[in-house]
Chains A and B, each alone.
Chain A
Amino acid sequence: MRVFSLSDLAFLLLATRWTIMLSLVAFVGGGIVGMAIALMRVSVRRVPRWLAVGYIRVFQGTPLLLQLFLVFFGADLAGFSLSAWFSAALGLSLNAGAFLGEIWRGSIQAVAPGQIEAARALGLRYRALMLRVVLPQALRVAIPPTVGFSVNLIKSTSLAAIIGFVELTRAGQLLNNATFRPFLIFGTVAAIYFVLCWPLTLAATRLEKRLAAAYRR
């Protein structure tokens, strides 16, 4: 047992880098998967739509922790071993893809159907229709819930601690094992998460209000 010192705080702050890195990687990965899922989900063809629905159901209907375990152990079975870092990044991306896909599907469907009909009447094909007409309008609706989801994603990265990746929560566990000051250490850990998440929560609420006001007009 030893006391909690400034160097321990530095240890936690350094581990926070990995929490931020993992959140960013998972957000980008989840964004790519999510865009594909959203586009499939609003497709006019049945098969992609069903696949997207299935994907969303499975990832939203099972615990994220088990998804991380499955990626971590599943990759081993497939013959290649993934590091805890890569498994966590992949698992979180696949999971975030389902949630972002569902959020963005709603945003795309919020675009007035008349817009799509008009674009079609002007002879726009799928690519131009999506890129120039639908997605720019969907973006406005998508931003507040996407920011809100990013808070969830940051909190979710803490589960990477369970498969042994040393990010903020795992660093807290390691420190607690050495110092046994749980309130102090996990309190500090919680405070760091709070500092990361709270501004995003506030931004999401503010953006939501602004959007709601714009729609009321």
Chain B
Amino acid sequence: MRGHARGRSADNMTYVFHFGDMWNARDEFLTGTLLTLQLSALSMVLSLIIAIVGAVARTSGPKPVQFAVMAYVELIRNTPFLVQIFMIFFGLPTVGVRLDANTGALIAMVMNGSAYTIEIVRAGIVSVDRGQTEAATALGLHRWQTYRLIVLPQALRVVLPPLGSQFILLMLNSSVCSAISADELTSAVLDIQGRTFRAFEAFIVAAGIYFILSLLFSAAFAAIERAAFGRKVTR
């Protein structure tokens, strides 16, 4: 990884930036970006689905289920994502589950993302006034109807802003999946810098792309909030 010394002239140790190789590698950058978008978006959707089920189970399931969900959330939130990826990618094959790097990355992303999202959705559910559920029960609504029609829509208002920040963090964290060579932007960049010996340029371009992605996601989440509530909910 240290072959980039080529770009430095030997006598005065100054480095000449050279982005030509980066332009030539634009297809790889683009493919990497799309793969990162795909991995992140898929992880966000799956995380959210699991999180809604998990948060409902955490707040109103039977005691052992509540405990299991809590333990899952705390275990994931108090250990590094990189270790979780290693556990899944290297561990699962030893018990007979064959999986490629991309599947391993997706599983790790969803496990990690859902733990944080469960906590966010749970906080949203808890924030809904108890009188609302009591009134729903008094009107004869079933538990499922109460959740679907009364609790979750109101929880959404509280949930959306932190959910957006969390999903952007998840997208940025997807770069860690390069540690198992999953197909995404950081892996692509590591390939490019290994081939061109232009490490700094490659990482700068990649950082710029991630930055733009995070701006795009944050604009998208703001648009969703506006669509849901007619205005952006202030934090």
Taking the nearest CB of chain A, how far is it from the CB of B233, in angstroms?
A: 18
Of B15, B186, B215, which one neighbours A65 at CB under 8 angstroms?
B186
- How large, as a class, is the contact surface on chain A? 35 or more
Which of B44-52, B62-70, B143-151, B172-180 is found at the contact surface with chain A?
B172-180
When C-beta atoms are compared, the residue in chain B nearest to A170 turns out to be B82
Taking the nearest CB of chain A, how far is it from the CB of B201, in angstroms?
A: 10
Taking the nearest CB of chain A, how far is it from the CB of B26, in angstroms?
A: 18
Q: Are A197 and B78 in contact (CB under 8 A)?
A: yes
**CA of A214 to CA of B172 in the docked complex: distance in angstroms?**
36
**Total B residues in contact with A, Cβ cutoff 8 Å:** 43
Of A58, A64, A78, A173, which one neighbours B86 at CB under 8 angstroms?
A173
Contact of B100 with A by CB under 8 A: no
Q: Are A74 and B210 in contact (CB under 8 A)?
A: no
Within 8 A of B (CB), among A25-69: 57-58, 60-67, 69
Within 8 A of A (CB), among B185-211: 186, 199-200, 203-204, 206-207, 210-211
B residues near A123, Cβ cutoff 8 Å:
none
B residues near A117, Cβ cutoff 8 Å:
none
**CA of A204 to CA of B218 in the docked complex: distance in angstroms?**
27
B residues near A62, Cβ cutoff 8 Å:
172, 207, 210-211, 214
When C-beta atoms are compared, the residue in chain A nearest to B169 turns out to be A60
Q: Are B210 and A63 in contact (CB under 8 A)?
A: yes
Contact (A197, B79) CB under 8 Å given A61-B211, A61-B214: yes
Contact (A66, B175) CB under 8 Å given A79-B13, A182-B91: yes
Contact (A70, B80) CB under 8 Å given A63-B173, A77-B200, A182-B91: no
B residues near A197, Cβ cutoff 8 Å:
78-79
Q: Are B203 and A73 in contact (CB under 8 A)?
A: yes
Within 8 A of B (CB), among A86-141: none
Chain A residues at the B interface, C-beta cutoff of 8 Å: 57-58, 60-67, 69-70, 73-74, 76-79, 151, 155-156, 158-159, 161-162, 169, 172-173, 176, 180-183, 186-187, 189-190, 193-194, 197-198, 201
Chain B residues at the A interface, C-beta cutoff of 8 Å: 2, 4-5, 7-8, 13-15, 74-75, 77-84, 86-87, 90-91, 94-95, 168, 172-176, 178-179, 186, 199-200, 203-204, 206-207, 210-211, 214-215
